[in-house]
Amino acid sequence: MASSKPGSKHSAYEEMIKGLWRDNPVFVQVLGMCPMLAVTNSAINAIAMGLATFFVLVGSSFLVSSLKQWIPRQVRISVYIVIIATFVTVVDYVLLAMVPAIHKELGAFIPLIVANCLILGRQEAFASKHTVKFAVMDAIGMAAGFLLAMFALGSVREILGEGKLFGLSLFGDNFEPWVIMILPPGGFITLGLLLLLFNWVTERKQAFIAQVAEAERSKA
Amino acid sequence: MREQEPSSTTLIAALSIAGFLSGIIIIAVYLATFDTIAENKARELREAVFRVLPGVTRMQKLRFDGEALVVMPDDAKDDENTIYGGYDDAGRFIGYAIANGGPGFQDTIRVLYGYQPVGRKVVGMWILESRETPGLGDKIYKDAAFVANFDDLAIDPQIVTVKKGTKSAANEIDAITGATISSKAVVRIMNEAHAVWDQRLPSLAPRLKPQQPESEK
């Protein structure tokens, strides 16, 4: 996990942007796999889960970072969990009141956000050691990266598994849905393929950078 | 440890304050969302009654007071003796919708089923609440084939769960492969409710009370 030193030349913008690609919580750090595999059977569920995680992560990063000098080291994990659990409970009630249908779909996975190692991990590794501004930027970036990954998985699985996106039919009646894609094995298969794609792109990018450097060196 | 060790009192105080503040926030959110959540649940229940009793366009709340069914106002609080009577446009009685809960595989399952005393059969089933395993146990409401088992189901002598594809009698239902416990839980909850209600229900429910405000749908 790449975490930068405080006060170094990293800008807040960089802290935010790193979660999207370079340190993407799902594709690079492979964190938060439980909701990742469990609720990505449709794009809308994936987005709802991603947004709930977004709110919890940004909220708890903000609080942990603001309160860090008052939290005794010895009980910090317990305090972080209390903070995270509070945000999760708030999300749980708000979703139940505002969008009961989505709450029913996500079911047991909303309370389980408490146990999402991505969230506690960011508190321990980043928010508790950085200023509020950096902690919030980092949380926004990580949560957006998570949301992006959730959406990628959710939309692929919904398109292939039901022939729909956001409930809208894409291919007409002749499309035979790949039912396996919305079942648990489909989650693993899609995640594996996306990881493959992600690593392949990253490798190509590095190879390209190396090639450019090589060319410049030979030119000099 | 280089830094000075904080006293236990400090640690306990830190955790207590965190817990206290968290409690206050949760209570505030709970109170703020309570009405909306209760309203959603009531609406969902009303919609479910129409689903489990085909042909029903109007309903009223009924409560068993120990001797007979009495008509309750719509905003009366539900308890375990409350059921719903379903009527068609002309006000003719069609059937009862009975809710009951019980342990499932994970947590309490709440089931609502439609019952026609005349044919002594179940005409529909709807899961009001369940936290069964996604992908397996949740098929008790997601699997249309399983739900369809209850569309025309004899209730005598009692409902029996059989292995998928072996349904042969009118009182049998096909269990869900991989979710036998959840399937059996649904059936057990319905059998238990029926055992309680069988003697209580007259074949004709109390008449629909006049000027029903429930003209929606």
The tens digit of pLDDT for each residue in A99-120 reads 888 887 787 788 888 888 888 8
The ipTM of this complex is 0.72
Give me the mean pLDDT over the B93-115 stretch: 90
Q: Token pair 């919708």 is at which residue?
A: B97
- Check residue A4 and give its pLDDT: 45
Q: Which residue of A has its CA nearest to B33?
A: A97
A100–B44 CB contact, under 8 Å: yes
Mean pLDDT by 10 residues, chain A (220 residues): 49 79 80 80 85 91 89 88 92 90 80 86 87 88 90 87 77 76 83 90 89 86
Highest mean pLDDT among A157-161, B15-19, B157-161: B15-19
Contact B189, B100 (CB under 8 A): yes
A184–B135 CB contact, under 8 Å: yes
Closest partner residue to B29 (CB to CB) among A38, A39, A93 is A93
B14–A75 CB contact, under 8 Å: yes
Give me the mean pLDDT over the B144-153 stretch: 89
How much is the pTM? 0.73
Closest partner residue to B15 (CB to CB) among A75, A86, A94 is A75
* Confidence band, pLDDT 50/70/90 cuts, at residue B134: low
Model pLDDT for residues B20-53, shown as the tens digit of each residue = 999 999 999 999 999 998 888 888 888 899 999 9
Give the integer Cα–Cα distance in Å for B15 and A75.
Answer: 7
* Confidence band, pLDDT 50/70/90 cuts, at residue B213: low
- Check residue B217 and give its pLDDT: 41
Q: C-alpha B136: how far from its chain's center? A: 19
- Check residue A3 and give its pLDDT: 46
Q: Which residue of B has its CA nearest to A84?
A: B22
Closest partner residue to A107 (CB to CB) among B21, B37, B131 is B131
A97 interfaces chain B, CB cutoff of 8 Å: yes
Q: Token pair 């400090």 is at which residue?
A: B10
Count of CB pairs separated by less than 8 Å, A with B? 62
Residue B178, sorted as left (phi over 0), alpha (psi -120 to 50) or beta, turns out to be: left
| Residue B131 scores a pLDDT above 90 | no
A70 interfaces chain B, CB cutoff of 8 Å: yes
How many Å lie between the alpha carbon of A74 and the closest alpha carbon of chain B? 8
Which residues does chain A have within 8 Å of residue B3's beta carbon, measured at their own beta carbons? 73
* Confidence band, pLDDT 50/70/90 cuts, at residue B103: very high
Q: Token pair 């209850």 is at which residue?
A: B150
Model pLDDT for residues B50-70, shown as the tens digit of each residue = 999 988 888 888 888 877 888
Which residues does chain B have within 8 Å of residue A71's beta carbon, measured at their own beta carbons? 14
- Check residue B1 and give its pLDDT: 46
Q: Which residue of B has its CA nearest to A75?
A: B11
| Residue B87 scores a pLDDT above 50 | yes
Q: Give the residue among A89, A87, A85, A86 at the shortest CA–CA distance from A97.
A: A89
- Check residue A54 and give its pLDDT: 92
Task: Name the more confident of A67 and B80.
Answer: A67
A73 interfaces chain B, CB cutoff of 8 Å: yes
B15–A83 CB contact, under 8 Å: no
Contact A150, A116 (CB under 8 A): no
* Confidence band, pLDDT 50/70/90 cuts, at residue B119: confident
Those residues with Cβ within 8 angstroms of residue A127's Cβ, 6 or more apart along the chain or in another chain:
A60, A61, A62, A64, A65, A68, A135, A138, A139
Which residues does chain B have within 8 Å of residue A79's beta carbon, measured at their own beta carbons? 14-15, 18
Using DSSP bridges, classify how beta strands B58-64 and B82-87 pair: parallel, antiparallel or unpaired: antiparallel
| Residue B92 scores a pLDDT above 80 | yes
- Check residue A2 and give its pLDDT: 45
Q: Give the residue among B124, B123, B113, B103 at the shortest CA–CA distance from B185.
A: B103
Closest partner residue to B10 (CB to CB) among A72, A79, A89 is A72
Which residues does chain B have within 8 Å of residue A90's beta carbon, measured at their own beta carbons? 25-26, 29
Which residues does chain B have within 8 Å of residue A98's beta carbon, measured at their own beta carbons? 36
- Check residue B2 and give its pLDDT: 52
Q: Which residue of A has its CA nearest to B43?
A: A100
